[in-house]
Amino acid sequence: MSTSTAPAAVRIEHLSMRYGRSPVLALSDVDMVVHEGEFVCFLGRSGCGKSTLLSLVAGLEEPTAGTIDHGGRRVGMMFQDSGLFPWLTVQGNIELALRLSGVPRSTWSARVAELLDVVRLPGVQKKRPHELSGGMRQRVALARTLAQDCQVLLMDEPFAALDAITRDAMHDEIERIAAERALTVLFVTHNVREAVRLGDRVILMQPGPGRVASELDVELARPRRMDDAEIAVRAAYLHDLLDEQAGSKEEKAA
């Protein structure tokens, strides 16, 4: 389904961010609309403001200028590090999110089991994070984020630390879960193929100051696979754009 006709889920206008007295803006005059149910990947080299953008959408930071409107939708966030509390079991970690969301205690056990089913990791309630593999920990982290019943899911390089096989499995899971729950997803990565594998749209960013450089609609059928030839073609195109960015930077420095 085309999402460009869906209502706006996140509307960003003239967004700028300066950390402290830094001479360079981490983000400069960013404008964009992400539509309901859309899966948008933010791609760009380190320092182009990807994490800053997600932090601002999550409300973890205050912008220097501009506005973000998510129309009161609930926003959840997930990072490269699962961020699970090591001293709590899987059950305890997910219950904490349920508690913070005001879910009645009597339903916690059933909800935890249901969420672990959603991320296809049933029966691990009593495990502690260190007993799980990296991929399993990210599944639990996803379950915990979904426990907040978010409509907008922010993901900051969530699979960057996983091996390729585990990462491919997580791609299938997030694609399925996003579709089942009609989530709007803002997904940050510096992996070009991953961006094309997952995104309905890829927004390419550029550093110094952080800004949107260009964007690409990925009109490929799902499910997709990382090694699809169609993905390779688009990834090559985006790689060229990234190389051009790097080239123009070197010219300036010369």
Q: Which of 16, 51, 145, 151 is in the footprint of ligand ADP by CB under 6 A?
A: 51
Whole-number Å distance between alpha carbons of 123 and 103: 21
Query: Do 82 and 141 contact (CB within 8 A), yes or no?
Result: yes
- Give the Cα-Cα-Cα angle 118, 119, 121 (nearest 5 degrees): 110
Contact pattern for ligand ADP over residues 163 through 202, marking x by CB under 6 A: ----------------------------------------
Tell whether residue 211 is a contact of ligand ADP (CB under 6 A): no
* Least gap, CB of 55 to ligand ADP (angstroms): 7
DSSP output for 203-240: EEEETTTTEEEEEEE----SS--TT-HHHHHHHHHHHH
Tell whether residue 93 is a contact of Mg ion (CB under 5 A): no
Q: Which of 48, 153, 196, 204 is in the footprint of ligand ADP by CB under 6 A?
A: 48
**In terms of Cα–Cα distance, which of 203, 183, 184 is closest to 192?**
203
Tell whether residue 46 is a contact of ligand ADP (CB under 6 A): yes
Contact pattern for Mg ion over residues 10 through 49, marking x by CB under 5 A: ----------------------------------------
Count of residues that interact with ligand ADP, criterion CB under 6 A? 12
In the beta sheet, which residues pair with residue 217? 201
- Chain centroid, CA 207 distance in Å: 19
Which spans of this chain sit near Mg ion (rule: CB under 5 A)?
50-51
